[in-house]
Amino acid sequence: MSERVEKWLSPLYWNDINLCGKTFSDPVQITDIFVYEPDSESRPYFESVREIPDLFSRTVIGTSFGPSWTTKWFKFSVEVPRHFESKIICLFWDSSSEALFYDSSGIPLQAFTGGGGEDRRDMLIISRCGQPGSLIHGWIEMACNEMFGNGSGGLIQPPDVSRSFQLRVAEIRAMNGTIFSLFWDVKVLHDIMQNLPQEHPTSTCAMVKATQIINTVDLQNNNSIEKSRRLASEIFQLGDGTFGVNASTTGSHFKTNHEVVALGHCHIDTAWLWPYAETRRKVMRSWCTQMTLFEKYPTWKFVASQTVQYEWLKEDSPATFQRLRTYVSGGRFVPVGGSYVEFDANIPSGESMIRQFLYGGQFFQQEFQIKSKTFWLPDTFGYSAQLPQILTGFGITYFLSQKLSWNLFNK
């Protein structure tokens, strides 16, 4: 049964009849694309780039850009077909690298991560940018690097300074939002089946419900799709934020005994496999994406540490920083950590660590009128015995980490 569900979700098999193949319309290629290639390793901001239209030249899908660490700016326009009416308009972009989309007014909306693998992110809903029958205009800042730098032949390797990155995809498609939602309903059911023991009641329930959905749905009939979503709602009690199974699902009452709270977070190393200048843009790419998600998902919350990264965002894009402040005040974007950076806790002195919390806490207090109660240090290899005393002195009562198990003795 698990294999049947897997095929119904697959982007490779049964695309003529499965959910993945029916979620999006055929693509409309973007052909009106122009590129500006700044000199050397300069990283000009949108405000300056849009003032120099004469420096842009036409380009096409399939062109490669480089070398490593350089920046390319694209601008494009595309007419939205009228048959996209009542559908969700989506942009697909893959420059084999990291990139950031700006709408025509200069608001950064979402990052892309090109190439393959689990990190790939190539789709953005752009219905806000135009309607069927109109022209959509957009700008994309391309960073000539992958998510984990430009290592040659492996993740943690010296960078290859002469890499190039190909523009592979630039297109728009219409999304059937109901099928898209059903895809994720079934995807979660499949993941439950894969990650719980086969004999577990919840796994059995997920299998039964996925079977019911597949047997019920006709992807050519919207009423059938809506009925299948209602079947999914019998197992996902979305209204009160809990997950459970009612009696009609398996013939016996079952409900989980756990409450799961999920907060978004992306760990951004201030210094690792890329220049500091690229860290600053990673902050922009990552946090703008979250602010766009806030608009779509009203209950979504996100946490981020490291005061220096907030400072950089304020310097690089004051308007974006002001957007972030509104979400901080609303409790949806949550500054955590209290320290200036996520520091090494082995070598620095106690005085150094005290200054981390002094300067980090001052910025949070000044800009957001908040004081972090949580020390956020998930990625250092060891912890100083001075930390409990220092944290207590700054009124920090919680500590988050995940590296305590990364050793030879208790993992």
Concatenate the DSSP letters of all residues of 227-257 into one string: HHHHHHHTT--TTTT--EE-HHHHSS-EE-S
Share of the chain above pLDDT 90, in %: 72
- What is the structure's pLDDT at 154? 63
Express as a percent the part of the chain with pLDDT over 70.
94
pLDDT of residue 83: 94
**In this model, does residue 242 exceed pLDDT 90?**
no
> Please, what are the domains in the chain?
2-19+184-255 (no CATH), 27-175 (2.60.120), 276-400 (3.20.110.10)
- 147-174 pLDDT tens trace: 999 987 766 788 899 999 999 999 999 9
At residue 226, does pLDDT exceed 50?
yes
Q: SS3 of 265, please? A: coil
Q: Which tokens belong to 376?
A: 């956020």
pTM (two decimals): 0.90
Letter for the amino acid at 126?
I
Say yes or no to pLDDT of 246 above 80. Answer: no
Residue 334 has pLDDT above 60, yes or no: yes
Give the count of beta carbons closer than 10 Å to the beta carbon of residue 245. 23
Q: φ and ψ at 167, to 5 degrees? A: -75, 105
**pLDDT at res. 411:** 55
Could you tell me the sign of the dihedral formed by the alpha carbons of 195, 200, 201, 204, in that order? positive
Q: Using pLDDT thresholds of 50, 70 and 90, give the confidence band for residue 247.
A: very low
Residue, of 282 and 248, whose pLDDT is higher: 282
Sign, Cα dihedral of 254, 258, 260, 261 = positive
**Cα 96-100-103 angle, rounded to 5 deg:** 130
Instruction: Give catalytic residues, as residue numbers.
Output: 379
105 or 405, higher pLDDT: 105
What's residue 240's pLDDT?
Answer: 39
* 316 vs 411, residue with greater confidence: 316
C-alpha angle with apex 361: 358 to 364, nearest 5 degrees? 150
